[in-house]
Amino acid sequence: MLKNKPALLLMLCILLLLSACGTQDDEVYENGNSTEDYEITLNYSDHDPPNGLRTEFIKEYWFPEIEKETDGKVTINEIYGGGLLEDDEALDGVRDGVADMSLIYPDNYPNRMYSYELFKLFPEGPEDFEGQYNIFKEGLEELPALNDVLKENNQKPLLITSGLPIAFGSANKLDSLSDVSGEDWRASSRWYLEAMKNINANPVSVPFDDVYMSLETGVIDGVMTNYDGFHMMNFDESAPNIILGPKLWWSAPFIHTINQDMWDKLPGDIQEDILKATESAQEEFGKVYADELEKTIKEEEEKGAEIKIADEEDMEAFTDEELFSKLRDTWAKEAKEEHGIDDADEYVDKLESIVDQANKESE
């Protein structure tokens, strides 16, 4: 008996611990909902700093709305600037529970989230965020591969935001997109690099964090990116000549997810409150998007930037239908052969219909 005493003590401790956990659950749950004693802190990770359009919005509106709707039972521990997960770690990090919530940005996973690349191949979209959101929402509903990659990585999508439209910023004269001919330009994806090549620029791949110095030192002449990112990174200091395309929507969604296991553990009323807060935030972001676009233009002009709104000639040059039709064919071929999307041609047709309808409704 003495030889078994340590084992018996260990078993007793385990039983006491399990009993305590059961008691705690009884105190904070009632019929599947939370009691007054319930509280939880969710860790949120984001690779961007907290002063951008999107991060400032979730910090100032979405998270406070969650805390308000849940009567303070849910608080969000926000970790920005890649302090918890770097931009290419978020998909695995949320899957494995390193963070409870995070931004998932498909551009950081061009192979694993290949289905999302299709959005880029319809470069002209609605000027308003509401129209853009409808494209993302219907796409997630009608193109199963978009949701499948999140399910496979144990995540539930909550909020979808977006960047401001495409801006072309140059260190040199930029009266029209024809001025990029022969210059070295950075873009964010293989598809946009092809589009820049199509208007006779020399496409250059440069990490986003290196763009400012590359512009400053003349490694590149210009950059094509989302306007809020351009502004947040102060690219206008070295590339003050800008063409802005309000109809050239930034077609990579910013998807804010939660670990599915964590979501399933939340009491039913807490889930409902989070969804209610998210719905409110989703509607509010459209207003913030429009205000931020006007605000950003004004701030950059005050700093001395020369900003031109893309005219019909610029639009036709960048959105060249012959080029993007070929790129969509390339996407479909790779989707079938390398990514298991057997009905890829149907994906192209469905998304084309969704985008066309959204453009008509936003006119």
User: Per mean pLDDT, which range of 24-38, 53-67, 238-252, 304-318 is the poorest?
Assistant: 24-38
Look at the block and give the residue holding tokens 């939880």: 40
**HSE of 43 in the Cβ direction (CA atoms, 13 Å)?**
13
The 10s digit of each residue's pLDDT in 250-277 is 999 999 999 999 999 999 999 999 999 9
C-alpha distance from residue 6 to each of 9, 11, 14, 15, 16 (Å):
5, 9, 12, 14, 15
Phi and psi based region of residue 231 (left: phi greater than 0; alpha: psi -120 to 50; beta: remaining): alpha
Average pLDDT of every residue of the chain: 93
Residue 13 pLDDT more than 60? Answer: no
Task: Please determine, for residue 166, whether its predicted confidence score (pLDDT) is greater than 80.
Answer: yes
What domains appear along the chain, each with residue ranges and CATH number? 37-162+252-293 (3.40.190.170), 166-244 (3.40.190.10)
Kindly give, in sequence order, each residue whose CB lies less than 8 Å from that of residue 148, ignoring residues fewer than 6 positions away: 115
Residue that is written with structure tokens 């359009």 in the block: 53
Dist. CA 220–CA 295, nearest whole Å: 27
Strands 40-45 and 101-104: parallel
pLDDT surpassing 90 at residue 293 = yes
pTM for the model stands at 0.89
State pLDDT tens for residues 343-363: 999 999 999 999 999 999 988
What would the pLDDT profile of 200-256 be if each residue is shown by its tens digit?
A: 999 999 999 999 999 999 999 999 999 999 999 999 999 999 999 999 999 999 999
